[in-house]
Amino acid sequence: MAIFEGAGVALATPMKADGAIDFDKLKELVEFQIEGGTDAIIVCGTTGEASAMTHEEHIETIRFVCQVVNKRIPVIAGSGSNWTETAIYLSQEAEKAGADGLLVVSPYYNKATQKGLIAHFTAIANSVAIPVLLYNIPGRTGVNIQPETIVTLCKNVENIVGVKEASGNFSAISTLMSLAEGCVDLYSGNDDQIVPLMSLGGKGVISVLSNIAPRQTHEICASYLEGDVKKSAKMQLKAIPLITELFREVNPIPVKAALNMMGMGAGPLRLPLTEMEEANQAKLKKAMEEYGLL
Q: Which residues are catalytic?
A: 135, 164
What does residue 38 show for φ and ψ, rounded to 5 degrees?
Answer: -55, 140
Cα–Cα distance, 285 to 261 (Å, whole number): 8
CA distances from residue 154 to 1, 69, 125 in whole angstroms, order as listed: 13, 28, 11
Cα–Cα distance, 150 to 172 (Å, whole number): 11
Residue 106 and residue 141 in contact, taking contact as beta carbons nearer than 8 Å: yes
Cα–Cα distance, 189 to 110 (Å, whole number): 22
Residue 30 and residue 71 in contact, taking contact as beta carbons nearer than 8 Å: no
Torsion, CA 212, CA 218, CA 219, CA 225, rounded to 10:
160
Residue 218 and residue 244 in contact, taking contact as beta carbons nearer than 8 Å: no
CA distances from residue 132 to 47, 198, 206 in whole angstroms, order as listed: 19, 20, 14
In one-letter notation, the amino acid at residue 236 is: Q
Cα–Cα distance, 280 to 183 (Å, whole number): 41
Cα–Cα distance, 103 to 43 (Å, whole number): 9
CA distances from residue 221 to 38, 148, 187 in whole angstroms, order as listed: 10, 27, 11
